Amino acid sequence: MTQVSSPLTGRAIGLAAVPDPVFSGAMVGPGTAVDPERGPAEAVAPVDGLVVSLHPHAFVVVDDDGHGVLTHLGIDTVQLAGEGFELLVAKGDRVTRGQPVVRWDTAAVEEAGKSPISPVVALEAAEGALSEVAQGGAVKVGEPLFSWR
């Protein structure tokens, strides 16, 4: 079982509330989303594992059980072309839960006309594989978001 923790401090809102049909329809996979506190922030690794994909606006960490967790920082933030994002690790690095991966400014993302809401998705997870999914309420960095069997 993989415990996925929050990469950000903010409010858990669930995937259905994400302003993007690809995420809200769980087309990428099941999970939840965090509406982060506004201002400078560090997005941290939600699990221990290997960074297999790394972009300024998104990263995937695969744990030792082969579970890939996507953290997508904001919606349509790929259009910012990395502006306002700083990578703190490299693709291929091993990271530990809670280790900072990307530094970004959620307020600047909003000022640029994008949503800072950040989906946290279990890639290729089977139907019903997630439990204890945080769908609402305050969440601090490192607190549980969901369990993945």
User: In which band, very low, low, confident or very high, does the pLDDT at 97 lie, cut at 50, 70 and 90?
Assistant: very high
Which residues, 6 or more positions from 64, have their beta carbon under 8 angstroms from its beta carbon?
A: 48, 49
pTM (two decimals): 0.97
The parent domain of residue 63 ranges over 10-129
CA distance linking residue 104 with residue 85, whole number of Å: 5
Neighbours of 40 (CB within 10 A): 12
Mean pLDDT of the chain: 97
Average pLDDT of the segment spanning 72-79: 97
Q: What is the pLDDT of residue 129?
A: 97
Structural domain contains residue 35: yes
> What are the Cα distances from residue 57, in Å, to 86, 93, 115, 116?
9, 17, 12, 10
| Any domain includes 34 | yes
Task: Specify if 52 maps to a domain.
Answer: yes
Does residue 111 lie in a domain region? yes
What does the pLDDT read at residue 144?
A: 97
Q: Is 148 domain-assigned?
A: no
Average pLDDT over residues 126-142: 95
- Asked whether residue 137 is domain-assigned, the answer is no
140 belongs to a structural domain: no
Domains held by the chain: number: 1
Decide if 72 is catalytic. Answer: yes
Q: How confident is the model at residue 120 (pLDDT cuts 50, 70, 90)?
A: very high
Size of the chain, expressed as the number of residues it contains: 149
Edge-to-edge strand list for the sheet holding 31-36: 94-95, 49-55, 58-62, 68-72, 118-123, 31-36, 10-12, 138-139
CATH of the domain at 34: 2.70.70.10
Is the pLDDT reported for residue 127 higher than 90?
no
The DSSP bridge pattern shows strands 144-148 and 2-5 to be: antiparallel
| pLDDT at residue 90 in the model | 98
Please indicate, yes or no, if residue 113 is contained in any of the structural domains.
yes
* Active-site residue, from 55, 57, 67, 72: 72
Q: Beta partners for 59?
A: 54, 71
pLDDT in tens, 29-50: 999 999 999 999 999 999 999 9
